Chains A and B, each alone.
Chain A
Amino acid sequence: QITLKESGPTLVKPTQTLTLTCTFSGFSLTTSGVGVGWIRQPPGKALEWLAVIYWDDDKRYTPSLKSRLTITRDTSKNQVVLSMTNMDPVDTATYFCAHKGQGFGAFVYWGQGTLVTVSS
């Protein structure tokens, strides 16, 4: 059974760096073809893909936010960490992590999401 869960602060101040952790179980991030991605959703708005890290440690970012994002993994802890610098109120959103399976160009399993509010 594959599960993912996001954790991190619920409130950050403008200009601060957000660090979110995705803790997963039921799969290995060293299995060929597997990836873990981050997707966010501002209140009442659409989904936005942010970043993905693959089984071979390849990392990809959405171009518009690439300069602010860093994705890393700790395979021994089954965790993926997303950092986003210089947070702004427009970054207020629910942040999801999700599993991308081998052969799937899609995110099959999702965490419940965590709401992050950016406010002074």
Chain B
Amino acid sequence: DIQMTQSPSSVSASVGDRVTITCRASQDISTWLAWYQQKPGMAPKLLIYAASSLQSGVPSRFSGSGSGTDFTLTINTLQPEDSATYYCQQANSLYTFGQGTKLEIK
């Protein structure tokens, strides 16, 4: 089984800041990595697929990078509506989600 480890588990930042969330896979997953945003009581929303491809309709302040085992989600110029929990998910071998990173806006 492929395990996905996110860090940090929570982060607090101010409007206008840049935030980076890291996801590490327990083995090489190439670029089979997606990022989701989930707000309380809502279904997850796909942000990034194939490690760095921005899903249609997602603001360009969201970006993803990485390959192999190490990946990052970067949110530039943080907005109040970015307060949410973010999950990574691998699709190289079945599917596995990370444990989530809760982003709080100060």
> Is there an interface contact between A106 and B97, defined as CB atoms closer than 8 Å?
no
Measured between C-beta atoms, what is the minimum distance from A34 to chain B in Å? 14
Q: Are A106 and B91 in contact (CB under 8 A)?
A: yes
Please tell me the size bucket of the interface on A.
20 to 34
Whole-angstrom distance between the Cβ of A35 and the nearest chain B Cβ:
10
Distance between Cα atoms of A111 and B97 in the complex (Å): 18
Whether, in the assembled complex, B63 has its beta carbon less than 8 Å from a beta carbon of chain A, the answer is no
CA distance A71 to B55 in the complex (A): 28
Known contacts: A47-B97, A49-B96, A63-B1. The answer to whether A96 contacts B50 by CB under 8 A is no
Is A90 positioned at the interface, with any CB of B under 8 Å from its CB? no
Which residues 83-118 of A have a CB within 8 angstroms of B? 96, 98, 104-108, 110-113
Q: In the docked arrangement, what's the CA distance between A63 and B1, Å?
A: 8
Q: Inside 8 A of A107's CB, which chain B residues have their CB?
A: 34, 44, 46, 89
A96-B43, A106-B46, A110-B44 in contact; A62/B94 too (CB < 8 A)? yes
CB of B100 within 8 A of CB of A47, answer: yes
Contact with A along B67-106 (1 / 0, CB 8 A): 0000000000000000000010111101111111000000
Residues of B within 8 A of A105 (CB): 32-34, 49-50, 90-92
Task: For A104, list chain B residues within 8 Å (CB).
Answer: 34, 49-50
Most buried by B among A46, A106, A111: A106
Is A60 part of the contact surface with B, judged by Cβ < 8 Å? yes
> Contacts of B95 on A, CB cut-off 8 Å?
37, 49, 52, 62
Q: Does A56 contact B (CB under 8 A)?
A: no
* Interface residues, chain A, with chain B CB atoms under 8 Å away: 37, 39, 46-49, 52, 60, 62-64, 96, 98, 104-108, 110-113
